[in-house]
Structure 1
Amino acid sequence: MTARVLVVDDILSNVKLLEAKLTSEYFEVVTAFSGMECLDKIEGADPDIVLLDVMMPGMDGFEVCRRIKANPKTAHIPVVMVTALDQPSDRVAGLDAGADDFLTKPVDDAALFARVRSLVRLKMMTDELRMREATGQGMGLVDPATTFSESISAGRILMIEDRPDSAAWFSSALRKENDVACVDTFEEALVRVRGGDFDLVIVSLGMRGFDGLRLCSQLRSLPEGRHVPILVVVSDGDRRKLNQALEMGVNDYLTRPVDTNELVARVRTQLRKKRYADRLRHNVQLSLEAAITDQLTGLHNRRYMARHLDNLIEQSHRTAKPLAFLIMDIDYFKKVNDSYGHDIGDEVLQEFARRISANVRGCDLACRYGGEEFVVVMPDTDVPFAYAIAERLRKTVESTPVMVSRDPHKLGITISIGIAQSAGKNDTAEALLHRADQALYSAKRTGRNRVVADAA
């Protein structure tokens, strides 16, 4: 995973050390040497994460973090404090200022890379929601003022721990501000998450009765648990379990012995992020329902695609990351309508839309372009990867007949797909669409039922 990291420290040697470590892991690094320079760089460099020193002259890291988090345009950017301060009170001060984590110098490389990758991965999901919400705002369907808010209401928290004394301690610390439920078995945890509508799940990785990491993995696979933040509790020094947890999508962690104030601060941080993500999803849903969903297939329509594609291309230019565009067409679809009627044709279109949705990623944008033509926009994706996805979809469609409601009850169909990739800062949505369309035309002209990538 690549990302743009802003490293902020007033000591040149510290900056160079972090820059060398991150560059060796293929991160793009931007640097700043003061609080004010950091705030300026955030505006222009659009970082994916900020590694921020605390002890700096003029404006310290706590104040810089507060300003980042108070700005609606930058509040979603993860901030990790990197400092020599190592007391629980220092971590709490950083968390209260809005920091997402607190790493103590000298920084362990494995811990640094695991945390950066974890926070960037979580930010990517937020970025996609923000991008889609921005599209809705641009179309006048969402009020920007309804998204950003600092208020935090009480949260519903599920504590998973099989040691009664530990569970009682966590419940006592959190019940002053939250509604806390405790469970001590693997099965009960899954049942409660499926039906509990929790705002946060806390999992002890030191349980004796079952594997907490396996539970975290299961929770992430549940539709009801996909968007619920998970905070794990690990023993001090158990770096292997912590890194595994971060890799599987856990949001945050605490190390034993747990400081009460740090627990409360980290819980507040996760609840704030959950509320923000929930508002983004709600606003995106409002936008979709307003006028930008294709009524027949449930995919986005051409109007939404046109606006969102402009945003994605602008982002691609700004981040220098590739953008792939797929346009696909059901082969000889007119014969389906002519032979079996438009109602059967509609059933074919609906099933094809379902197969597209099943074969693309959550961050990809699938749309019905018109008639039997569909498009998929794939951010941060090059042509070889897009080609592999397109070929998988083509084979799925070819090998599995479409079931329809009346005679002949199943139809064999094939599709042709054209692919193009964004081509630098002067590229436009119109040019990208034209190249993909030319590739689709080539696929049809050379026999159909194939994938062709633009050679430009």
Structure 2
Amino acid sequence: MSARILVVDDIPTNVKLLEARLTAEYFDVLTASDGPTALALAASEAPDLILLDVMMPGMDGLEVCRCLKADSATRHIPVVMVTALTDVGDRVRGLEAGADDFLSKPVNEVALFARVRSLVRLKMLTDELRTRQAMSGEAELLEQVGESGEGAAGSILVIDANVRGGDRMRSYLEEAGYDVLVCTSKDAALEICQTDRFDLIITAIEIAGEDGLRLCSQFRSREATRYVPILMVLEDMDLQRLAKGLDLGVTDYVVKPVDRNELEARVRTQIRRRRYHDRLRSVLDRSVSMAFTDGLTGIYNRRYMSAHLDRKLMEIAETGKPVSIMLFDIDHFKLVNDTYGHAIGDEVLKAVTDHVSESVRETDLLARYGGEEFVLVMPATDVEIALKVADRIRERLSHQTIPAGAAGSNVTVTISAGVASTFDPLETPDALLKRADQALYAAKQNGRNLVFGVNGPATPDAKRAARAAVGD
């Protein structure tokens, strides 16, 4: 895994040492000897991670970290403090400033590379989500989805076979406002995660003699817990097992005896990041949904319908069952807009889609074709059944009234529809839609509020006109 890393230290020897170690592992290294230079490089070069010395003249590492996290262009860059300070209070101040972790001088290579790779992976995930969101056309929302959420309640699962230790951690976290559940076995934890959602998982590295790292691996392999941050509690600073845990997907750790303030600071950081990623994914999912759904009615759009219909036509070769479609539009819809206004016209469109959706099967697909035109795709349905369905929908809609808002009256609308069906898996969606459109044209030419099909109209009185228009 390659990445660009910014090393910040006012002592040239320390810079050269870290640069040599990182370069030997094929990382691209940038260097800075003071805070202002580091901030400028972070903004212009967008590194994937910053190794930041705490004790520097002028602007120290804590102030640099606070500036990085306050700037929207750099707040998502992971920061690891490199320090000779070992006091827990110093670590807590660094975490509160936005640091992701600490490495003590002299820097151990195992700890260095394990933490670098873990945080770079996290940064790449964040970058991917942000890039997809920007490409979705909602780039302006990036700044609105900030890493906020401190103080908001969170749900935490604590896994520890030591009942006393688990209860102590629960007491700490519940007093800080979190909702905490304690499990004493690996199997119980895996089972509850299938049904309950957690913002953070805290697990001991040993659970009743079983390897906690294996549990972490199982969490990462399951969809329900793949993206839940994991905080591991170490018995001592076992760098080899820590490195393995970080490679498996552990996102943070604390070492016993656990300091309460440090625990709360790390928990707060992990939950804040979890919620940030959740909101990014939510916006992204909404953007993807918008690409395939109609913004006004909430049903599928023409693009999705075409792809869906294409798949259903190809399935005929496997199932041997026909596919039918109903193409319909609202009669005299322009008159509705001219009489009541476009706002009422929009309400009519939504009401029509609601009524049709309630009248069809779950396997059918309703889509807005454009303007006041709609398409209903009915798989495994022959033309006779499709005609009956279409006429039932037409009849039901003709008796529905739609409130006309401030106008103080109700709107009644009718539809005209054309039905087409095929047993041919090689027929294209465009060809089937063209036949349905011909049938729709016949319905409109013969007085509207009618359903015509390629094999004949749904009402006996219109058979002759339908055959003439469709060519059947």
TM-score class, shorter = 0.5 to 0.7
Query: Residue 75 of structure 2: SS of its match in structure 1?
Result: coil
Instruction: Check the 8 A contact 2:154/2:179 in 1, yes or no.
Output: yes
Change (3 A) 1:96 1:116: same
Structure with max Cα Rg = 2
| Paired residue type of 2:78 | P
Query: Residue 146 of structure 1: SS of its match in structure 2?
Result: coil
Separation of aligned partners in 2, 1:6 and 1:342: 62
Instruction: Check the 8 A contact 1:234/1:241 in 2, yes or no.
Output: no
Look up the match of 1:170: 169
| Paired residue type of 1:220 | R
Length, aligned pairs only: 321
Corresponding position: 1:247 with 2:243: no
| Paired residue type of 2:189 | A
| Paired residue type of 2:164 | D
Query: Residue 21 of structure 1: SS of its match in structure 2?
Result: helix
Separation of aligned partners in 2, 1:133 and 1:234: 37
Tell me the TM-score normalised to structure 2 length.
Answer: 0.62
Separation of aligned partners in 2, 1:55 and 1:293: 54
User: 1:182-238 deviations in whole A, cap 9, x for unaligned?
Assistant: 001111101111111100000100322422111111111111101110000112231
The partner residue of 2:146 within 129, 144, 148 is 148
- % of aligned pairs identical? 50
Look up the match of 2:92: 92
Look up the match of 1:159: 158
Paired residues for 1:320-399 under 5 Å: none
Please provide the CA RMSD for this pair.
3.5
User: 1:163-197 deviations in whole A, cap 9, x for unaligned?
Assistant: 01111111111111201100011111011111111
Change (3 A) 1:48 1:164: same
Instruction: Check the 8 A contact 1:157/1:180 in 2, yes or no.
Output: yes
Displacement of 1:43 = 1.2
Separation of aligned partners in 2, 1:28 and 1:342: 59
Look up the match of 2:182: 182
Look up the match of 2:66: 66
Paired residues for 1:287-298 under 5 Å: 287-291=287-291
Change (3 A) 1:90 1:205: same
| Paired residue type of 2:157 | L
Displacement of 1:57 = 1.1
Look up the match of 2:133: 133
Separation of aligned partners in 1, 2:258 and 2:266: 11
Separation of aligned partners in 2, 1:276 and 1:51: 23
Separation of aligned partners in 2, 1:209 and 1:259: 24
Instruction: Check the 8 A contact 2:72/2:143 in 1, yes or no.
Output: no
Instruction: Check the 8 A contact 1:204/1:233 in 2, yes or no.
Output: yes
Query: Residue 206 of structure 2: SS of its match in structure 1?
Result: coil
Look up the match of 1:43: 43
Kindly report structure 1 stretches of 4+ aligned residues shifted beyond 4 Å.
335-344
Query: Residue 58 of structure 1: SS of its match in structure 2?
Result: coil
Displacement of 1:148 = 1.0
- Unaligned stretches of 5+ residues in structure 1: 295-300, 304-332, 345-403, 412-456
Separation of aligned partners in 2, 1:146 and 1:257: 39
Separation of aligned partners in 2, 1:12 and 1:343: 74
| Paired residue type of 2:66 | R
Instruction: Check the 8 A contact 1:159/1:181 in 2, yes or no.
Output: yes
Look up the match of 1:232: 232
Change (3 A) 1:259 1:343: same
